Amino acid sequence: STERVLLEVLLPYWNHHSGNLVFGPDGMLYFAIGDGGGKPGGDPLHWAQNLFVLNAKILRIDVDKRTGAREYGIPSDNPFAGKEAARDEVYAYGVRNPWGLSFDAEGGLWCADVGQDLFEEINLIEKGGNYGWSFREGFQKFPVRTDEPPPGAAFKDPVFVYDHTQGLSITGGVVYRGSKFPSLRGAYVYGDWAFGRI
């Protein structure tokens, strides 16, 4: 009886809907939405670089306030708040299928982004950052795209990538700050769904 629908997002295909929601140390709600998937993939609607749609983005909203007719508030320091041809909710963009978000003890926002043909990647998300999909996968140009990024496009590099001989679907993870395994302190611990590895 207390349920309140905050936001509904168009999902044009059956996959790449994305993963978890997390509250940040600032009290804002962060969540990610994939590019919509589809066959043969490759961001078929070219939404990842389009700031006017919510797909293929990391979003940030305030659940304790309301802005206009929305069921949630727009933080005034969101990077695209009030900008033309951009959605106010967008915090970062250019992700494919961001399956795992987590904050570390120092406030860093980590994202495990499932790749397509070449690489799985781990990103440290920055406000306003563009992570390159679908012009880039991992550190490399995504070969399916034959066009070029817009002039001046600056892509954030992943922290780490692994190719598809090592795994096919990153699922994770968290920065370990525990005391039981000292050798892991400060390490990002994640899994791969397809290969079953941690």
If phi over 0 gives left and psi between -120 and 50 gives alpha, with beta otherwise, what is residue 94?
left
Would you tell me how many other CB atoms lie within 10 Å of the CB of residue 110? 21
Query: Known catalytic residue: 16?
Result: yes
Q: How crowded is the C-beta side of 93, counted as CA atoms within 13 Å?
A: 24
Q: Give the phi and the psi of residue 73 in degrees, each rounded to 5.
A: -100, 155
Beta pairing partners, 171:
191
How long a stretch of residues is the chain? 198
Q: Which of 16, 17, 46, 164 is catalytic?
A: 16
Query: Cis ω on the peptide bond leading into residue 134 (within 30° of 0)?
Result: yes
Q: Which residues are catalytic?
A: 16
